[in-house]
Amino acid sequence: MLSFQVEATSGRARAGRMETAHGPVETPVFMPVGTAGAVKAVTPRDLQDVGATIILANTYHLMLRPGDALVAERGGLHGFTPWHGPFLTDSGGYQVFSLAALRTLDEDGVAFRSHLDGSPYRLTPERSMEIQRNLGANIVMAFDECPPSDAPREAVAEATARTTRWAARSRDAFDRLPARHGHAQALFGIVQGGVHLDLRERSAAELTALDLPGYAIGGLSVGESKQNMLRVLDHVPALLPEARPRYLMGVGTPEDLVEGVARGVDMFDCVMPTRNARNGQLFTRAGRLSIRNAVHRDDPRPPDPECGCYTCRTVSRAYLRHLHLAGEMGAAIYATIHNLAHYVDTMRAMRQSILLGRFEEFRQEMRSRAAGEGES
């Protein structure tokens, strides 16, 4: 089981601490995405250097390649991959709905074809739990249905109701299957309901009735407006138990993280820092920086003069731009290290401000910075 303590609050923002079999996780926390069991372009040494404490891996990708049976045979993610800290795995549902071809949904689960070779697979709540038991992540997600942002209310209502039924089946299967790798795992439920507050309320009520050790807010950052996302976030965290961690899935920009924490969210994941890094976009305290831009051609400054990461200690914008234009892998490595450091630093700064009871001041400062910033 996962232990979680809220250590301090500042407004609705919370500073907490999870204990896992693979080490503590201080919250609020950003979890870098390691889709295939590796955060792209970096090594565990880089992740430790930037201060990352927990990594997300994707059930969908790992079940297809190398296969969860192989990962299990090699001791689960902690044995197979070189990251020995805590892991969280998603349920595979989101990726099946967004990536897989020719999927067919019924009450039992989803049949789909692999995006790699077209071969047929099936995911159900029970199979998702089996895979996640094989992978051995410290935190496991219930199998859910995440409807697209433009789905009609009726479809969202149906998906939300199914998510509840699948969460109960997930919990039953999770409880029935033993942990395989000598450490406890914790199952989180996922609140759905799109931008409909009444559906969100019903989903939260039905899921919290399952008394799970943590809850996620799913179905945001899937195309809805920022305004709608914030409206849901104004409402949902308060529907979840105070004593359990709250995880906002797939969000977002540094500003989104601040707004999430302001509303009582503890955990976040997003591909943005790593994916944007590979495309040459760096997040800095002075705004976003597109390293391709000619303005950086001979700029001797580090990407972010206020940042202490390996990249900012080591390379200039001019050099990074050169590597990016030359298609050198180093460009992705340096940018990924920096972006992850920026995200982790932002979370740590938020945590400190909460511990000091000054979160609102921090948030206002971030907003003034954001207002003054430009894209470069």
Residue 35 Cβ vs its own copies, minimum distance, rounded to whole Å:
9
Residue of 1, 5, 7, 73 interacting with its own copies (CB under 8 A): 73
Strand blocks (E) in 46-130: 55-57, 87-89, 101-105, 110-113, 120-123
What is the C-alpha to C-alpha distance for residues 332 and 338, in angstroms, rounded to an integer?
Answer: 10
Residue 38 Cβ vs its own copies, minimum distance, rounded to whole Å:
5
**In Å, how far are 140, 265, 285 from 197, measured between CA atoms?**
26, 17, 34
- Count CB neighbours of 326 within 10 A: 9
Which CB, 102 or 116, lies closer to its own copies?
116
Strand blocks (E) in the chain: 3-10, 13-20, 23-27, 29-31, 55-57, 87-89, 101-105, 110-113, 120-123, 139-141, 186-191, 214-217, 246-248, 267-269, 281-284, 287-290
Residue of 43, 228, 293, 376 interacting with its own copies (CB under 8 A): 43
Instruction: Name the segment binding its own copies (CB under 8 A); options: 25-33, 78-86, 103-111, 216-224.
Output: 78-86
Instruction: Provide the b/e sequence for 177-194 (b: ≥16 CB within 10 Å).
Output: eeeebeeebbbbbbbbbb
Q: How many residues bind its own copies (CB under 8 A)?
A: 37
Residue 294 interacts with its own copies (CB under 8 A): yes or no: no
For the record, the structure tokens of 74 come out as 């090699």
Residue 318 interacts with its own copies (CB under 8 A): yes or no: yes
What is the C-alpha to C-alpha distance for residues 174 and 124, in angstroms, rounded to an integer?
Answer: 12
For the record, the structure tokens of 298 come out as 């001979």
Catalytic residue among 68, 256, 269, 304: 269
Residue 33 interacts with its own copies (CB under 8 A): yes or no: no
Site string for its own copies, 319-358 (x = CB under 8 A): x--xx-xx-xxx-xxx------------------------
Residue 330 Cβ vs its own copies, minimum distance, rounded to whole Å:
5
Q: Which helix (H) or strand (E) holds 172?
A: helix 153-176
Residue 252: asked if its preceding bond is cis (omega within 30°), the reply is yes
For the record, the structure tokens of 313 come out as 């200690």
Residue 295 interacts with its own copies (CB under 8 A): yes or no: no
Residue of 41, 167, 190, 199 interacting with its own copies (CB under 8 A): 41
**In Å, how far are 122, 124, 128, 200, 321 from 105, measured between CA atoms?**
10, 10, 15, 22, 46
Catalytic (active site) residue 269 = yes
Site string for its own copies, 50-69 (x = CB under 8 A): -----------x---xx---
Q: Is 79 exposed, middle or buried (0-12, 13-18, 19+ CB in 10 A)?
A: middle
Residue 355 Cβ vs its own copies, minimum distance, rounded to whole Å:
32
What is the C-alpha to C-alpha distance for residues 125 and 108, in angstroms, rounded to an integer?
Answer: 8
Site string for its own copies, 139-158 (x = CB under 8 A): --------------------
Residue 92 interacts with its own copies (CB under 8 A): yes or no: no
Catalytic (active site) residue 304 = no
Which CB, 152 or 305, lies closer to its own copies?
305
Instruction: Name the segment binding its own copies (CB under 8 A); options: 31-39, 209-217, 240-248, 362-370.
Output: 31-39
Catalytic residue among 46, 68, 90, 299: 90
Residue 72 Cβ vs its own copies, minimum distance, rounded to whole Å:
11
Residue of 12, 17, 40, 180 interacting with its own copies (CB under 8 A): 40
Residue of 42, 54, 57, 141 interacting with its own copies (CB under 8 A): 42
What is the C-alpha to C-alpha distance for residues 71 and 179, in angstroms, rounded to an integer?
Answer: 14
Query: Which residue is listed with tokens 């201080």?
Result: 26
Q: How many helices (H) and strands (E) does the chain have?
A: 15, 16
Residue 298 Cβ vs its own copies, minimum distance, rounded to whole Å:
6
Residues that bind its own copies (CB under 8 A): 36-38, 40-45, 61, 65-66, 70, 73-74, 80-82, 297-298, 300, 310, 314-316, 318-319, 322-323, 325-326, 328-330, 332-334
Residues with catalytic function: 90, 269
